[in-house]
Chain A
Amino acid sequence: MTKQLPLINVLSICLVGCGLVVSAANAADGDWKRGRVYYQNVCTECHKAKAGGPIAPNTRTMAEWTTYLKADKHVKGKESLAKYASKEYRASIKSTNKAAEKYADIPDEQLFNDVKTFMLKGAKDGDSPASCL
């Protein structure tokens, strides 16, 4: 037996769906140049110093990066990856990191999206494979 949804619920579901679609579109369309600067100066510099060396975007495929980004796990799953693009994290390193200082006020989601855009674009099979330079 099926139960009919009230009209308002149908409309609401549609609008929520639209919201998610818009979010997904934003996720694919960040500022890749800003993402590149953050990736190079924060991610790469930290990996060089503390995590056994840099990981260039072009060492993974888009699918691999997508899976990694979706999982949102860092430091062997102990922490959220998004944390490293957060204002809080940027504030903690901005005295020694110029990219963190420059982008101190960018909203978390926006900056993380920029970094994601650069990683996917720079992937091995992305539109513009990128090394660590």
Chain B
Amino acid sequence: MGTGKFMVVIMASMLLIHTVYAASDPASEKLLKSTSDHSKFEALQQDFSSGPEVTKACLTCHTEASKQLHLTQHWTWEFLNPDGQRLGKKNVINNFCTSVASNYASCTTCHIGYGWKDDKFDFTSEINVDCLICHDSTGNYRKQPGLAGNVVTKPMEIPPGSGNMVKPIDLKKIAQAVAKTSRDNCGACHFFGGGGDGVKHGDMDSSLASPDKALDVHMDATGINFACATCHMTEGHQVPGSRYAPTAQDKGGAHLRGKEYTTNPTTCQSCHGQAPHKANAKLNDHTNMVACQTCHIPAFARGGVPTKMSWDWSTAGKMGPDGKPLIRKDAKGHLVYTAAKGDFVLAENVVPEYLWFNGKVKYTLFGDKVEKSSQPTRINHFEGAADDGKSLIWPVKIMHGKQPYDSVNKSLVVLHMAGNDDTAFWTNFNWERAIATGMASVGAPFSGKVDFLETESTWPITHMVAPAKDALHCRDCHAAGGRLEKVSGIYIPGRASDHARWLDGAGWAIAALTLLGVLLHGLGRVIVSRRHK
């Protein structure tokens, strides 16, 4: 065979290989998932130098998207509680990093927008909506802290003076690969609430990006692989299932296709109905008292990422022997003290606490009077009772804190933590100056006196659903010292607090008398039978 023919054979082989490969390759898979290939869109054939430029391009086709987003909590960071309290990230004070106010450029790294650096942010701007944070599929989209939600498009040192150079991201490549939201998208913020991986929620951390079945039966990446939006079924960019609007008890049945529902689609009942236990129907008798999560999430922080259980701000500011801000780590290398934040207690595989919850949450807000006492101040408070007909027993994480407050005005305070100015706590470690700046930023009075207040906050546990075989067993609750030992207002056979000594005594006495009667009867039989002989 001549060289020419040989080359023709090789060429034909190459083409054949590619034809066969294409039939079972990612391109075919893509086609099954979407009718649009964004890499072919003319508006995206350009190099972008900022996030808003990308959004402008997105809006040329998705003309109403930003208008929809403007109506969401993800954009406003506000929520009006049914009782009138103005909530949302923008307004609440928590016992993690405390508050967004005065720290916008850092906190708004997790805002779905670009440029929220102070209270003058334009919430009507359409091009400042960040499409990519929710629709990136490359996993390469990053928002760096301190940039008010903007992205790095040229090499940048972050934080300034640290020597840490951050590479720019390729916005064109990312924009051309947009897709439906995934766990990685939602997790980019929600896994890292409270300032780090798994810190805040306990049932959400980076282990859920690609979990196995043991960690979460629904999100199991080797199984049914639910995205967040599979349950948080979004319409018009409105994401249901916010913890600000929880559904404690869903009395409805499973949602059927073709039928319209106005109820929360994120509840267990919206898929599983009211009688989900087929093999052991007795378990269905519990569903009017016990939330599904109580039995099916036996512990949280189960994926190898610890969650923060307490945070003591009062010890912050210590310097090491070298004069630099002190840090301490535990045996696994997790930070348990930093000069910037104080002491932490971390935990994995945490057994939740349990309480009655009717879906109403009351918050202690900025401006509410707080008092130092033997009981911690409740940053938020889950309402509910056994007899209100609306409550179920829910598993929760209780976060314990010790945070600064104005001891004269008796008020929680706005802390100015992050920033490149000389009053930021993370720069100068001076409480009075940091709080004075923080309070001035919201126009609130500050006496200049700082003390520390013990606080606690409550977080619902609803992710990390274990396989049925790992759910709680009867003896986990129906036994002395069981999990529900402290839950009041309900009779739970077997638990110590439901023991009535007189009833136990009477029961044992009856049993003893029965035994005695049997023995006497038996003895009588023996005696009578001997007489007849």
B66 close to chain A: CB less than 8 A: no
Please tell me if the beta carbons of A8 and B4 are within 8 angstroms of each other in the complex: yes
Interface residues of B in 131-169 (CB under 8 A from A): 138-140, 167, 169
A19 x B14 contact (CB < 8 A): yes
Complex CA–CA separation, A50 to B50 (angstroms): 47
B140 & A8 in contact (Cβ 8 Å cutoff): no
How many A-B residue pairs have C-beta atoms within 8 angstroms? Tell me.
82
For residue A101, which residues in chain B have a CB less than 8 angstroms away from its CB?
Answer: 222
Contact with A along B6-31 (1 / 0, CB 8 A): 01101100110110010011100100
Please determine whether A8 and B8 come into contact, CB atoms closer than 8 angstroms.
Answer: yes
Interchain CA distance A19-B16 in the complex, whole Å: 11
- Of A33-41, A55-63, A65-73, A75-83, the segment with at least 4 beta carbons within 8 Å of chain B is A33-41
Binary CB contact string for chain A from 7 to 23 against chain B (1 if under 8 A, 0 otherwise) = 01101110110010010
B303 touches A12 (CB 8 A): no
Interface residues of B in 57-79 (CB under 8 A from A): none
Is A1 close to B, CB under 8 A?
A: no
Main SS class of interface, A: helix
B21 to chain A, nearest CB (A): 7
CB–CB B7/A102 < 8 A: no
Interface residues on B, range: 35 or more
A16 adjacent to B18 (CB under 8 Å) = no
Which of A9, A15, A110, A133 is within 8 Å of B303, CB to CB?
A133
- B204 interface residue per 8 A CB criterion: no
Task: Tell me the complex Cα distance, A75–B324, Å.
Answer: 45
A63 vs B517: C-alpha distance in the bound complex, in angstroms? 86
Interface size class of A (residues with CB under 8 A): 20 to 34
Complex CA gap A36/B225 in Å reads 13
Interface assignment of B336: CB less than 8 Å from any CB of chain A: no
Contact B207 A98 (CB under 8 A): no
- A12 pairs with B138, CB closer than 8 A: no
B7 and A9 contact, CB distance less than 8 A? yes
Q: Which residues of B contact A31 (CB under 8 A)?
A: 26, 29
Which of A8, A98, A128, A133 contacts B222, CB < 8 Å? A98
Give the distance in Å from the alpha carbon of A36 to the alpha carbon of B210 in the complex. Answer: 8
Contact of A13 among B7, B207, B304 (CB under 8 A): B7
Q: Which residue of chain B lies nearest to A31 when distances are taken between CB atoms in the complex?
A: B26
Among A19, A128, A133, chain B packs the most CB atoms within 10 A around the CB of: A133
What 1/0 flags go to B343-384 for Cβ under 8 Å of A? 000000000000000000000000000000000000000000
Q: A107 with B24: in contact, given A9-B4, A22-B18, A41-B212 (CB under 8 Å)?
A: yes
Decide: B210 and A128 in contact? CB cutoff 8 A.
Answer: no
Is B236 close to A, CB under 8 A? no
User: Do A12 and B10 touch across chains, with their CB atoms under 8 A apart?
Assistant: yes
Residue A124 lies at the interface, judged by CB distance under 8 Å to chain B: no
**Interface status of A32 (Cβ within 8 A of chain B):** yes
Most buried by A among B21, B210, B304, B305: B210
Give B221-239 interface residues, CB cut-off 8 Å to A: 221-223
The 8 Å CB contact of B210, one of A26, A30, A33, is: A33
B4 cross-chain contacts in A, Cβ below 8 A: 6, 8-9, 12
Complex Cα distance, B184 from A41, in Å, reads: 18
Query: Can you list 29 A-B contacts with CB-CB less than 8 angstroms, sorted by A residue number?
Result: A9-B3, A9-B7, A12-B10, A15-B11, A15-B15, A16-B11, A16-B14, A19-B18, A30-B26, A33-B139, A36-B210, A36-B221, A37-B210, A37-B221, A40-B210, A41-B212, A41-B221, A41-B222, A98-B213, A98-B220, A98-B222, A98-B223, A102-B222, A107-B21, A127-B140, A128-B139, A133-B209, A133-B303, A133-B305
Q: Closest 8 A-B residue pairs measured CB to CB? A: A12-B7, A98-B222, A19-B14, A127-B140, A12-B11, A37-B221, A8-B4, A99-B222
Binding site for A on B (CB under 8 A): 3-4, 7-8, 10-11, 14-15, 17-18, 21, 24-26, 29, 138-140, 167, 169, 182, 184, 206-207, 209-210, 212-213, 220-223, 303-305
